[in-house]
Structure 1
Amino acid sequence: MGNCCGNPGSGTSESKQVKPKKKNNPFYSNECAAANGSGAGFKLSVLKDPTGDDISLQYDLGREVGRGEFGITYLCTDIKTGEKYACKSISKKKLRTAVDIEDVRREVEIMKHMPKHPNVVSLKDSFEDDDAVHIVMELCEGGELFDRIVARGHYTERAAAAVMKTIVEVVQICHKQGVMHRDLKPENFLFANKKETSPLKAIDFGLSVFFKPGEQFNEIVGSPYYMAPEVLRRNYGPEIDVWSAGVILYILLCGVPPFWAETEQGVAQAIIRSVIDFKRDPWPRVSDSAKDLVRKMLEPDPKKRLSAAEVLEHSWIVNAKKAPNVSLGETVKARLKQFSVMNKLKKRALRVIAEHLSVEEAAGIKEAFEMMDVNKRGKINLEELKYGLQRAGQQIADADLQILMEATDVDGDGTLNYSEFVAVSVHLKKMANDEHLHKAFNFFDKNQSGYIEIEELREALNDELDDSSSEEVIAAIMQDVDTDKDGRISYEEFAGMMKAGTDWRKASRQYSRERFNSLSLKLMRDGSLQLAGET
């Protein structure tokens, strides 16, 4: 991965010597080059105008501080000034499709475009070499939003109002700049430092897009819990960011998402129904003004939903400093902690999975395609794909195959050409079976007993918990995941946790797009996507 490596002091001459041995990424070249195996001299260019091509001349990369689907974030030091930054290094091998490449290119362009703002992480520099893209940005070391809330002994409506004001101010500045964020969620907000007065900052513009007034979009992106109904209807504009902020507000006030189900289809249908529960604890204690704002932000009709400016003019936000300073109760704090830690437990497992999925090589894909294309038409249908996969020993559920077929059949002719087949092949490796979940489970099951015991769970989450609440949170996770109540987590229970609510396979952004694209089409066909009152 070039300069992505954890040891920034290593020389570059060695990597240059071994580089010719690397196999070509099929997306580094056009379809013909990929199909015939040529394109060895092709260099993938991602960024429009990077600062330079050798990050090591200006920065030292240090320890890893985070990991995502495409890249690893390192602590990074300016060689001349000694100032600390964060560097997100994205391996080009992981940019498997044109959509992936465009996402990274657009993320850098949007960060360059955004004005300096105290609640938006700022871009410092960008570099691109043969192996990776490096995005150097402001370092945020104050931790995640929910963790800070839980660490405070007293959590109130007033605190939630202050946080919501900041989040909606970020939405407003984005919209003023013609940027739709499209992926607002608690994990995408970090505190700049550990001081009590630290600003909260939006950190991730990976799914953001430029928009013009009145422009409508149809690409399904985002995180399921926070997705607005019009995204599922594939006809949306910047109003979706206010919806997502409304979901965050609901979670801030009661500790659980407003729209939840065991399956992704159930989540989608709950979002479409848009029924908000104000009965559970602590809603009876929450002010009418706060509930009014939640309703108006989670208005299913985007034309009637408040704009970011209107949210900031709402009495609950305007009078944030006068909002009730009465504790929302330990239940909400415990839920927020559990929500945060459960996400981290899933992410830890997904990180183990990602190491096994890291780079699907192109080798063998063309051979497999030719084997399935028995009539030598240059394309294969669903039956040929299914039969070919069975011959290769891969048993894929018909429903999953149909979803992938629909999602990757770009020209809609009911068959896959070679480039469409490459995309399917890449994703089949992620969804063929639960092999990767087994590997993640074994990572936690240190003594190989076949169970994750409470001590192993405690060890796995040791760096995520503070001493004061650790046992309470561990007990809460065990209570949730250990369904047979034998005091330990079996593989079946672990897999159930990983698949609950949102399928673990949506660790892949591209797979998520495909899955929800197909789900949206299904809900359109059965009439589920009509607005209430429509006929």
Structure 2
Amino acid sequence: MGGCISAPAKRAGSYSSTRSSRFTPQPDVDRVCRSGVLRTISILKNPSRDNIQDRFEFGKELGRGEFGITYRCTELVTGEAYACKTISKSKLRTEIDVDDVRREVEIMRHLPRHPNIVSLKEAFEDRDAVYIVMELCEGGELFDRIVARGHFTERDAVTIARTILEIVSVCHEHGVIHRDLKPENFLFANSSDSSPLKAIDFGLSTFFEPGQHFREIVGSPYYMAPEVLRRDYGPEVDVWSAGVILYILLCGVPPFWAETEEGIAQAIVQGEIDFERDPWPKVSEEAKDLVRNMLEPNPYTRLTVQEVLEHKWIQNVDKASNVSLGQNVRTRIKQFSLMNKFKKKVLRVVADNLPDEQVDHIKEMFHVMDTDKNGDLTFEELKHGLHKCGQQVADPDVQMLMDAADEDGSGTLNCQEFVTMSVHLRRIGSDDHLTRAFEFFDKNRSGYIEFDELKEALIDDNLGPNNEKFIEDIIFDADLDKDGRISYDEFKVMMKMGMDWKMASRQYSRAMLNALSQKMFKDKPSSLRG
């Protein structure tokens, strides 16, 4: 059996190719929950009775997500390679988090074997973590494959769209709504051109009964259907999200875009779709008709997944145009999907190069907040400490800061992680800090960050075999005047656009989007259903 899981959302971490030590769970068992109660929780129904380390040897880290780390692992008896998503119990701070993990495993067990759905091997649980062993997908993300190809056509787009819709169809036939369809949740099984595309993440999926309505806001803003924001939805949301992916495949940008989450939500509710800009004049009317009907704002008149699969554009794959949609589409997809590692490197540089007196002050704050003197800050310690320091930070924001700064996935902050977080909290965008960070990269003091300087700075960041191409992409992304280098002004603009840390926390995302929905719809669910 092959295998299919990747690092969750490259917003949430990218593959690391160097870690290859035997995995040992950290002794991080009884943590203070949000309620302040010490407990050890049991999550899975009918987990394997075996100790996972008696069955599998853990290898390199593949990626990190909000709740844990994904490792490559090998079954000791067969030598078969798999991926193991390890979910630290200390990171599951609410009952909703626990339910999400339990339901994810139940759904993976429930869905039938399918060539385009990642297969669950086995699920384990111990005092520290849940371990989900599944297929190992090593062919890369959907958009990365598109960017790597020199030629992308309408026929390519319809082939991918049909695969995604067949996955949705299987889910709906078995009473499952995916609720988080997005390009990052699809991986190729291997690097071959004929590799199957697989759905790899069911962390926000849920079971449903015909006619059942849901009010919980989940998902990713770009791909979220308007009825999710109205807090009254059903399986139709998956067709909408697939329609957004199809729109991006055909033109390279999302149909609903803005600088803020609120702006994106407003654009989704307004539902105005652009079919005028390049390359839409080159796209067939059949393709545009399908996109239009998948992005129908009213879920009752939107096409069902079966109707989409029966649409003539989907049915006539071989007749779809094989003419390239143009370089602009690939360029836009690359820009849209690129994880800007450069920004995170800058954060580390700023934290590592603060003046000694500032570091000493931050460390002193850490020791004051660490009331039990164990060298780690829990959520409650951080929250109370911030309030004592005059930082009136809401609970979801505290959680977001912890999740973003908790690099080792322990569920707490050590002193160095706290220093990094404090840099962000003190507005890392201050010119003084940014000047020093810029000088760190600008080794020859030319006033610009150039290719070789950035390559040297990121040499330890494991960007993979396409290291130089990745660096070119980072420069292209930040280089506003396109002279092939990054000036200080361009550097400031890039950093002050934000780190997108908010959406790294599922809990923060839910809280933020729910508050936004209440603001837009006057705190009452709004329905288009009859």
TM value normalised by structure 2: 0.77
The reply to whether residue 336 of structure 1 matches residue 323 of structure 2 is no
Contact 1:481 1:494 in 2 (8 A): no
**Counterpart position of 1:498:** 498
SS of the counterpart of 2:33?
helix
Of 184, 194, 198 in structure 1, the residue corresponding to residue 191 of structure 2 is 194
User: Pairwise mapping of residues 301-380 of structure 1 onto structure 2 (< 5 A)?
Assistant: 301-342=298-339, 361-362=378-379, 364=381, 368=384
SS of the counterpart of 1:495?
helix
What is the deviation of 1:232? 0.2
| Mapped partners of 1:508, 1:521: distance in 2 | 20
SS of the counterpart of 2:495?
helix
| Mapped partners of 1:350, 1:215: distance in 2 | 45
What is the deviation of 1:474? 3.8
| Mapped partners of 2:228, 2:419: distance in 1 | 28
The reply to whether residue 447 of structure 1 matches residue 443 of structure 2 is no
Contact 1:478 1:487 in 2 (8 A): no
What is the deviation of 1:389? 5.7
Change in CA separation of 1:157 and 1:492 when aligned onto 2, cut-off 3 Å: same
**Counterpart position of 1:102:** 99
- Structure 1 residues 456-487: Cα deviation after superposition (integer angstroms, max 9, x where no partner): 5556487367489657634430235999x963
Counterpart code for 2:324:
S
Count residues in correspondence.
463
SS of the counterpart of 2:521?
helix
TM value normalised by structure 1: 0.76
What is the deviation of 1:51? 1.2
What is the deviation of 1:257? 0.5
| Mapped partners of 1:104, 1:305: distance in 2 | 31
What is the deviation of 1:214? 0.4
- Structure 1 residues 125-180: Cα deviation after superposition (integer angstroms, max 9, x where no partner): 11111111111000000001111112222110000000000000000000001000
What is the deviation of 1:49? 1.2
What is the deviation of 1:497? 3.4
**Counterpart position of 2:408:** none
**Counterpart position of 1:226:** 223
**Counterpart position of 1:478:** 478
- Structure 1 residues 331-369: Cα deviation after superposition (integer angstroms, max 9, x where no partner): 11111122222466678889999xxxxx85156479x4x
Q: What is the Cα-based RMSD across aligned positions, in Å?
A: 4.1
| Mapped partners of 1:212, 1:139: distance in 2 | 31
Of 264, 284, 299 in structure 2, the residue corresponding to residue 267 of structure 1 is 264
Of 172, 177, 185 in structure 2, the residue corresponding to residue 175 of structure 1 is 172
| Mapped partners of 1:217, 1:69: distance in 2 | 24
Contact 1:120 1:201 in 2 (8 A): yes
| Mapped partners of 1:125, 1:436: distance in 2 | 44
- Structure 1 residues 384-422: Cα deviation after superposition (integer angstroms, max 9, x where no partner): xxxx965433154xxxx49879xxxxxxxxxxxxxxxxx
| Mapped partners of 2:52, 2:482: distance in 1 | 47
**Counterpart position of 1:434:** 424
Counterpart code for 2:146:
I
Contact 1:481 1:497 in 2 (8 A): no
SS of the counterpart of 2:291?
helix
| Mapped partners of 1:302, 1:360: distance in 2 | 45
Contact 1:62 1:76 in 2 (8 A): yes
Runs of at least 5 residues in structure 1 that lack an aligned partner in the other structure: 1-5, 354-358, 369-387, 406-427
Q: Which piece of structure 1 moves more, 472-481 or 125-134?
A: 472-481
Contact 2:476 2:482 in 1 (8 A): no
| Mapped partners of 1:93, 1:402: distance in 2 | 17
Q: Relative to total residues, which structure has the larger helix share, 1 or 2? A: 1
Change in CA separation of 1:108 and 1:179 when aligned onto 2, cut-off 3 Å: same
- Structure 1 residues 298-329: Cα deviation after superposition (integer angstroms, max 9, x where no partner): 00000011111111101111001210111101
**Counterpart position of 2:78:** 81
Counterpart code for 1:463:
L
User: Pairwise mapping of residues 240-251 of structure 1 onto structure 2 (< 5 A)?
Assistant: 240-251=237-248
Q: Which piece of structure 1 moves more, 81-90 or 431-440?
A: 431-440
